[in-house]
């Protein structure tokens, strides 16, 4: 029988990270309920043709894209807050959401609903360069309660570079997407890079609209841009998102610490040259067989 292993790793400075390991996948402590039930419930979730599942490795722009997609799907520009995540919301909440549903997840692709793997519903995947993800993740976890991280950025990087991190590691997540055509050829997916979205927003929003196959013209896309800018979303989040049920036990002041800087290249203020070199070496080895052109600044 598959067991849920509770793992608690500690570095030489005494910083700890604990997670659950189940069927080779790692889960942070604040996922909803028991990971065995979570995995089983996700696999059998009944999907609908008009479902949109937003996949991101954490800190890659989930909130940003959730609000963009919500505007496209609903046809209005209301702020939509934080998504309902497969792993943080109760499954009956997801099951009972009215159509068209927009759901988010950081779960590994193998744990996606079987229906999604078989092409029922669409998946939007956002990828962000791993150095900015590392900084964003560190700042986020340093501000959380219970699942927080109390060590230095250097000690965090050592955890981040391990095979097993929360929801797996960044390069493992990316590999799943680069290989997706072979693993799940029926899945309908669209991958967008955070950096492209940030630098060339309008053309990339048009690509999103094409993928969703919904009628939204250029003026609509421009209004989406006006309503999903970093400062606008940060203001909405801080005034309207208190006490989100999914995260009420792990946030310090009722607000998830999401909107920090929203920039490309902030990692340069955090990484030392030695950390950056180590990072580049590890990533080059692990992603050697892929032809990647990530944008870091």
List the catalytic residues: 106
Return the half-sphere exposure (C-beta side, CA atoms, 13 A cut-off) of residue 253. 6
Is residue 260 a contact residue for ligand PPS (CB under 6 A)? yes
Interatomic CA distance for residues 165 and 285, integer angstroms: 18
Interatomic CA distance for residues 174 and 55, integer angstroms: 11
C-beta of 120 vs 258, nearer to ligand PPS: 258
Residues in the chain: 297
The radius of gyration computed from the CA coordinates of the chain, to the nearest angstrom, equals: 19
Is residue 258 a contact residue for ligand PPS (CB under 6 A)? yes
Pick the binder of ligand PPS from 20, 56, 129, 275 (CB under 6 A).
56
Using CB under 6 A as the criterion, what x/- string covers residues 125-164 for binding ligand PPS? -------x---x--xx------------------------
* Residues between 165 and 224 with contacts to ligand PPS, criterion CB under 6 A: 198
Interatomic CA distance for residues 75 and 283, integer angstroms: 40
C-beta of 120 vs 157, nearer to ligand PPS: 157
CA 176 to chain centre: 14
Pick the binder of ligand PPS from 228, 241, 246, 275 (CB under 6 A).
228
C-beta of 42 vs 258, nearer to ligand PPS: 258
Report the interhelical angle of 273-286 vs 153-160 (nearest 10°). 10
Contacts to ligand PPS by CB under 6 A: 56, 58-64, 132, 136, 139-140, 198, 228-230, 233, 258-262, 266
């Amino acid at each position: 029988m598959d067991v849920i292993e509770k793992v608690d790793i500690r570095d030489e400075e005494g910083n700890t990270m604990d997670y659950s390991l189940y069927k080779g996948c790692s889960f942070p402590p604040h996922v909803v309920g028991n990971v065995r039930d979570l995995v089983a419930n996700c696999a059998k979730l009944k999907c609908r043709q008009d479902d949109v599942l937003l996949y991101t490795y954490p800190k890659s722009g989930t909130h940003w894209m959730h609000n963009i997609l919500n505007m496209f799907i609903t046809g209005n520009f209301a702020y939509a807050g934080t998504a309902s995540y497969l792993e943080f919301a109760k499954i009956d909440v997801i099951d009972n959401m009215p159509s068209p549903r927009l759901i988010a997840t950081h779960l590994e692709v193998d744990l996606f609903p079987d229906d999604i793997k078989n092409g029922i519903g669409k998946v939007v995947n956002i990828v962000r360069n791993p150095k900015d993800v590392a900084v964003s993740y560190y700042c986020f976890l340093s501000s959380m309660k219970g699942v927080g991280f109390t060590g230095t950025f250097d000690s965090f990087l050592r955890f981040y570079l391990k095979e097993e991190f929360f929801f797996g590691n960044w390069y493992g997540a990316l590999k799943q997407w680069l290989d997706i055509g072979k693993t799940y050829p029926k899945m309908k997916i669209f991958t967008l890079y955070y950096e492209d979205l940030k630098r060339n927003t309008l053309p990339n929003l048009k690509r999103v609209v094409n993928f969703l196959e919904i009628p939204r013209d250029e003026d609509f896309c421009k209004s989406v841009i006006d309503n999903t800018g970093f400062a606008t979303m940060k203001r909405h989040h801080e005034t309207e998102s208190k006490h989100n049920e999914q995260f009420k036990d792990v946030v310090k002041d009722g607000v998830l610490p999401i909107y920090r800087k929203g920039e490309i290249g902030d990692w340069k203020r955090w990484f030392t040259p030695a950390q950056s070199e180590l990072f580049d070496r590890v990533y080059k080895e692990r992603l050697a067989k892929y032809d990647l052109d990530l944008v870091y600044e």
